[in-house]
Structure formats: C-alpha cells, structure tokens
C-alpha cells in the first residue's frame, strides 16, 4: 500500500496538472473569442467594400479588399484550429457534443443551396435493440448534409441516325445530321464553352488546359484547342456586333485601357486592350450593362477616335491626351462631352498624403473624400434625384474645394509636387465638375477599371499567339464574357447554350441570345416549371 506522503504528492500533482489544463483551456477560449471578434470586424469591412459597388473607392480599394480577404482567411483558419483544440480538451474532461453540431462559439451554418441534387446515404441501422434484443420501431431520422464536388466527367455522345428503305419505292429515309458548333468537329458545346471560359475568363492558357486534360486521359493538343477557339470566335461574331451596338447606344460611356503582352517575331511587344462600358445602374437606368473591348498594337490617338467614330454622348475617362480630338467642337457627328474621373484626380494627392505626409495633400484628400461620402448616398438613384441632391449638397463642397485649391496653389512654387497634383484637377475643372449638372455622370471611372481588372491580374499567365489577330480575338471574347458577368450570368452556361443554338437560330431573333435576354428567358422557364 502506498505511503500517505506518496498519495498526497500524487494528489498535488494531479491538481497542478488539472489547473494547468484549465488555464490553457481558458487561454485558448480567450484567443478564440478575440479571433471571433476580429473575424466579425473583417467581415463587416469586406461587406462594406463590396456593397459600395458603384461608388467611389480609394486608390487602394481593390488591393485593400484583397488584403482583408486574405487576412480573414488566415484568421478563420487559425480560429478553427484553436476551436478544435478547445473541443479536444473538452472531450478529455468527459463533456460530449454531437458530431454534426457546430463548434462552440460558431454560428449555425446556413442550409446548403436547395437547387443542388441530393444523394441519400442511409447508414445501416441495428436490427434489434442493443439493450434487450427487442424489436425496433422507427421514430424518425436525422439528416446531416455535406457539400461535395465531383471531378470533371468526360463522355462521348453517340447520335444514331437510322436509315430506312421503303419497300414500295425503295427510297432511303434518314434523319438529318445533328448540328455541331464546329463543322466536322467532335467537340460539344459544353466542352467548347469550358475551354473558352477557362482561357478568357480564368486566364488559363491553352497549353495548361491541354496538360490538365491529358492527366485525365483526354489528349487534346494545343493546336486543336486553338482551332476550336478560332472557330467559336467566328461563330459568335454576330452576338459581338449586337453587344457593340448596344454599348454605343448609351448616353454615357466609361472608357479605359490597359497593357497586354503580345508575341511578335520572337520578342514580346506591349499592346493595348481598350474597353468601353455601358452601365446605367448607378443612375437607375433600365438598360442592361455591357462592355465592348478593342485591341491595338500601340496607344496612339487614332484608336479611340476609330472606336468611337459615330458616338456623340458622354465619355468618362482619365486625362489621356488621345481622347482630346473626341471633345473638339467641330467633330462629326458631334463633340463628346468629357467627364473626368475623381479617383484619378485624387490619386497623386493621396500618395503625397500617405507617403510624404504632406499636410496640404492630406487636407485635399479629406475634402475630396467628403464629396465621395455625399455622392455615395445617391448611388443607384434616378438621374433627376441625383442632380437635385448634387446641386443642394455636393456643389457647395466642390466649389469650396476649387476655391481652396486655387488659393493654396497660388502660394506654391510651380515645381511643388502638391501643386502639380492640384494642377491635374484645376486644369480640367470643367470636366471634373460636369457631373454636377448631369445626374447620369458618375464620380469615378471605376466601371471601366473593374472591366479591365481581370485582364490586369491574368496577363502574366498568358501571351497572345504571335500576332495581332490574337489580340482582336481576345478582345472579342472579353466582350462576351465580361458582359455576361455584368448581367449576373454564368459565362460558361451561357456560351454552351448559345453555341448549341446560334447556327440555326433566326437572325431576326438573335437578340434573344444576348446575356440579359437569355437570363430573363431562363428565369421565366424556371419559374414556370416550379
């Protein structure tokens, strides 16, 4: 029998171990609580940034959103790890928890989407009572749902056309051959849509797609994929023309461009991809949004003049000198009204305020941000309401900013960096203040920048196929894919349906295949079926 002193020592050891475990558990729970608070805070910030869909954002807005989402992911992963450790510690204490219940401190998950198919897996039930071996009677069931994904499944569709011979006249009858999106091709519309969306929507070059398909046992060479892409681009050209016409019919356009790498004779040159976006949603316009893309080998003024040769509305863009000819009084069919982008006007001032800590730049940014805040309240409102609010509340802020900038600029050297940043606004003051007299004009050119954002992020992943034709082809496909996304349409599903139908679709009803009309018809069909 152990000595009393030994028993007391063991008890003290156990008590110390229990106290240490309880202290560690409390610390873990405290860390988890702090992490939960930070997660909630980050989610709120991200929601606010995403909610400001049409409003003005800071120069770091998109980068800040990406950084916050990355931080949120890391924090949630760490919090989940800590929660798992806490639950493990709780299990050692003898507490129990249902395996399908959420961890402590975690909200109950929202139900999984109802439109997804359900696969029932019924676990084997005992045939008799484990206590007395008596007969069991079912009381009900508990269902635990798990979201799962299936890998890409490949299949070969065999379309059989039976031939019949007439016994009376010996004539042979056979159904006509089915339509293929590519003449004499063996690719179905869903496969073609997947390739197109991956290349132009997800920025996956054809060589990477070919390698990925090969790992799944499907040998599709790059040349074969490229042939399919070129043919699909030609088949979809009528829809691109309709989108271009819809964009150019807008009263106001957003315009911008970005660089793109182009292979030419063994070297890489820098081409340009231009976009012109119609988006009337900020002023409550009924017209659906759309984007028109164009490619050029350089950035000379002839390109925007050619792109907008018949346009005579409002162009919201940066201060690129190549647009100047569009604003001339004698231009035919009429001068385009210039609307400047306040985000560009704020950019240099913001940099000077943040990096160089220039007090005057910080004050300018503060005043501009007050205009942004007032403007944000009327996003999505009708043009007449926006005009009235701007005249009553925003015009005084703009007037005070202009007066203050001119006074401060007069006291500076012409070489002062803050003064040069102010000159960007002051020398274009009419273009910057044009939004005050027209409720259709936005404060910024963010719509065009959003349309180009995916290209800017993905251009390091691809190169054009050695010629300017590749740039034109990419611009055409971006028009389709970005327009689909602007209308909340899955580009892959839309392209698959269009490729399956466009060849024998009546030309007079081709507008039915445009993304917004296609979505409306699909939603109506789903509602009718329900």
User: Tens digit of pLDDT for each residue in 32-71?
Assistant: 556 666 666 666 666 666 655 544 444 445 556 556 666 6
> 92-96, 155-159, 434-438: which has the highest mean pLDDT?
434-438
Q: Tell me phi and psi for residue 436, to 5 degrees.
A: -65, -30
> 96-100, 158-162, 423-427: which has the highest mean pLDDT?
423-427
Average pLDDT, the chain: 84
Please choose, from the candidates 456, 334, 402, 399, the residue with its C-alpha nearest in 3D space to the C-alpha of residue 62: 456
Six-digit token string for 93: 């204490």
Q: What is the pLDDT of residues 433-467, one digit of tens each?
A: 999 999 999 999 999 999 998 887 776 665 454 56
pLDDT at 31: 55
Q: Is the dihedral of CA 183, 185, 189, 193 positive or negative?
A: negative
CA 258 to chain CA centroid, nearest Å: 17
488: left (phi over 0), alpha (psi -120 to 50) or beta: left
Q: How far is CA 362 from CA 55, 135, 349, 405, 429, in A?
A: 21, 80, 7, 12, 20
In the predicted model, is pLDDT for residue 14 greater than 80? no
pLDDT at 275: 97
92 half-sphere exposure, CB direction, 13 A CA radius:
10
Q: How far is CA 133 from CA 128, 129, 322, 417, in A?
A: 5, 4, 88, 89
Choice among 67-71, 202-206, 330-334, 497-501 with the minimum mean pLDDT: 67-71
Please choose, from the candidates 486, 65, 492, the residue with its C-alpha nearest in 3D space to the C-alpha of residue 276: 486
pLDDT at 41: 66
CB 497 within 8 A of CB 518: yes
Task: Please report, rounded to a whole number, the percentage of residues in the chain having pLDDT higher than 70.
Answer: 77
Task: Please report, rounded to a whole number, the percentage of residues in the chain having pLDDT higher than 90.
Answer: 52
pLDDT at 456: 76
Q: Which of 95 and 196 is assigned the larger pLDDT?
A: 196
Choice among 46-50, 232-236, 327-331, 463-467 with the minimum mean pLDDT: 463-467
CB 269 within 8 A of CB 299: no
CA angle at 188 for the pair 187 and 190, rounded to the nearest 5°: 125
Q: What is the pLDDT of residues 368-392, one digit of tens each?
A: 999 999 999 999 999 999 999 999 9
CB 53 within 8 A of CB 486: no
Please choose, from the candidates 281, 284, 280, the residue with its C-alpha nearest in 3D space to the C-alpha of residue 381: 284
CB 128 within 8 A of CB 136: yes
CB 289 within 8 A of CB 486: yes
- CB-neighbour burial class of residue 23 (10 A; exposed 0-12, middle 13-18, buried 19+): exposed
Evaluate the omega torsion of the peptide bond into residue 333 and state whether it is cis, within 30 degrees of 0: yes
pLDDT at 59: 45
| pTM for the whole structure | 0.78
First to last CA, the chain: 78
User: Residues 6 or more apart from 225 whose CB is under 8 A from it?
Assistant: 195, 206, 209, 210
In the predicted model, is pLDDT for residue 73 greater than 70? no
pLDDT at 58: 46
Query: How confident is the model over 302-325, as a mean pLDDT?
Result: 95
Q: What is the pLDDT of residues 159-200, one digit of tens each?
A: 898 999 998 898 999 988 777 787 767 889 999 999 999 999
**Can you tell me the distance from the alpha carbon of 188 to that of 88, in angstroms, rounded to the nearest whole number?**
51
pLDDT at 19: 67
- CB-neighbour burial class of residue 50 (10 A; exposed 0-12, middle 13-18, buried 19+): exposed
């Amino acid at each position: 029998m152990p000595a009393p002193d030994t028993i007391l020592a063991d008890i003290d050891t156990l008590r110390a171990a229990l106290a240490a475990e309880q202290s560690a558990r409390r610390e873990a729970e405290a860390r988890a609580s702090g992490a939960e608070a930070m997660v909630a805070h980050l989610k709120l910030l991200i929601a606010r940034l995403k909610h400001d869909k049409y409003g003005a954002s800071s120069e770091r807005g998109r980068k800040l959103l990406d950084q916050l989402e990355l931080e949120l992911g890391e924090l949630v992963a760490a919090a989940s790890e800590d929660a798992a450790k806490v639950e493990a510690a709780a299990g050692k204490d003898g507490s129990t928890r249902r395996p399908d219940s959420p961890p402590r401190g975690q909200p109950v998950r929202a139900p999984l989407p109802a439109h997804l198919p359900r696969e029932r897996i019924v676990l084997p039930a005992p045939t008799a009572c484990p206590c007395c071996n008596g007969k069991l009677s079912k009381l009900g069931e508990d269902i635990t749902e798990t979201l799962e994904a299936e890998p890409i499944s490949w299949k070969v569709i065999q379309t059989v056309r039976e031939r019949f011979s007439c016994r009376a006249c010996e004539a042979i009858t056979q159904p006509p051959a089915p339509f293929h999106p590519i003449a004499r091709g063996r690719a179905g519309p869903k496969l073609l849509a997947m390739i197109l969306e991956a290349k132009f929507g997800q920025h996956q070059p054809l060589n990477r797609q070919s390698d990925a398909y090969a790992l799944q046992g499907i040998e599709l060479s790059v040349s074969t994929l490229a042939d399919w892409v070129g043919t699909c681009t030609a088949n979809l050209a009528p829809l691109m023309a309709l989108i271009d016409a819809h964009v150019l019919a807008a009263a106001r356009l957003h315009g911008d461009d970005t660089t793109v790498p182009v292979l030419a004779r063994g070297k890489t040159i820098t081409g340009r991809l231009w976009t012109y976006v119609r988006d009337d949603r900020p002023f409550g316009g009924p017209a659906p949004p759309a984007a028109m893309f164009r490619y050029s080998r350089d950035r000379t003024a002839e390109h925007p003049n050619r792109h907008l040769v018949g346009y005579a509305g409002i162009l919201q863009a940066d201060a690129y000198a190549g647009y100047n000819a569009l604003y001339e009084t004698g231009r035919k069919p009429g001068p385009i009204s210039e609307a400047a982008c306040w985000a560009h006007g704020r950019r240099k001032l913001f940099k000077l305020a943040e990096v160089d800590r220039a007090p005057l730049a910080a004050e300018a940014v503060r005043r501009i941000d007050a205009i942004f805040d007032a403007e944000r309240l009327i996003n999505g409102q009708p043009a007449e309401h926006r005009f009235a609010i701007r005249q009553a509340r925003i015009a005084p802020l703009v007037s005070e900013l202009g007066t203050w900038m001119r006074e401060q600029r007069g006291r500076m050297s012409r070489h002062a960096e803050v003064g040069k940043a102010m000159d960007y606004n002051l020398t274009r003051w009419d273009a910057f203040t044009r939004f005050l007299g027209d409720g259709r004009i936005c404060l910024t050119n963010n719509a065009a920048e959003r349309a180009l954002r995916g290209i800017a992020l993905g251009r390091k992943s691809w190169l054009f196929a050695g010629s300017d034709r590749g740039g034109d082809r990419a611009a055409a496909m971006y028009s389709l894919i970005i327009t689909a996304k602007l209308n909340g349409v899955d580009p892959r599903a839309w392209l698959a349906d269009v490729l399956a139908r466009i060849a024998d679709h009546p030309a007079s009803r081709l507008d039915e295949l445009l993304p917004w009309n296609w979505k409306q018809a699909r939603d109506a069909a789903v509602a009718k079926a329900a």
